[in-house]
Amino acid sequence: MEGWYRDMDAVLFKVSNMPGIDPGSIHIIGFSAGGAIASKVISIEKNVQSLLLMATPCDFSDILPEDPFTLKHHFIQLGLIRDSFFPHDIDRWYQGFLDLNPKQYLPFIAPRHVGIVHGDKDEVVPVAHARQLYDSAYKPKKLIILEGANHQLRKDNRIHALIRDWLAEVAW
């Protein structure tokens, strides 16, 4: 998670400083753990105008297996880990998930917009996580529970229109 944080922070810095890019027009959409990382980055970086979280966990300890090696094996099966020597320190890697708490970052995003989208059939992150994230965010905020949607919201054919509508609503 530390690496993802550094990566997102670096991308945001690069985009914010590109000629021709209005730093006041940057919006971030984060899926699952990427949303958790985005909430942390945006709580510190004030030039992002809105955050849209998709199927984002609010507490990783609620959804991760207790054994870090089980998590690593699961990520290998999903293709998220391709290097058998990664991570170098499995306990530190696992703790990085446990230390990431989007609920604590969301209040610091106000007065910028926060949107939370979650599927009511999410088999990985219970929909209760979306409600907890929503409760922790300050206004302006929006909660959308998609009927029949599972965890992989990228594959849901309603997401593109939802993102378009979100940006139309929050872009200045």
pLDDT in tens, the chain (172 residues): 788 888 989 999 999 889 988 877 899 999 999 999 999 999 988 889 999 999 999 999 989 999 999 999 988 998 889 998 899 999 999 999 999 999 999 999 999 999 999 999 999 999 999 999 999 999 999 999 999 999 999 999 999 999 999 999 998 6
Residue 148's pLDDT is 97
Residue 26, phi-psi category: left (phi > 0), alpha (psi -120 to 50), beta (remainder): beta
Distances (CA, A) of 115 to 14, 55, 96, 99, 142: 24, 11, 24, 22, 5
Query: What pLDDT was estimated at residue 47?
Result: 85
Could you give phi then psi for residue 80, rounded to 5 degrees? -80, -25
The amino acid occupying position 49 is Q
Kindly list the domain boundaries of the chain, sorted by start residue. 23-58+106-172, 60-100
Torsion of CA 97, 102, 103, 107, to 10 degrees: 150
Residue 106: its pLDDT value, please? 96
Nearest Cα to Cα of residue 8 among 22, 23, 28:
28
Q: Are 156 and 149 in contact (CB under 8 A)?
A: yes
Instruction: Please name the CATH architecture into which domain 23-58+106-172 falls.
Output: 3-Layer(aba) Sandwich (3.40)
- In this structure, how many other beta carbons lie within 10 angstroms of the beta carbon of residue 2? 13
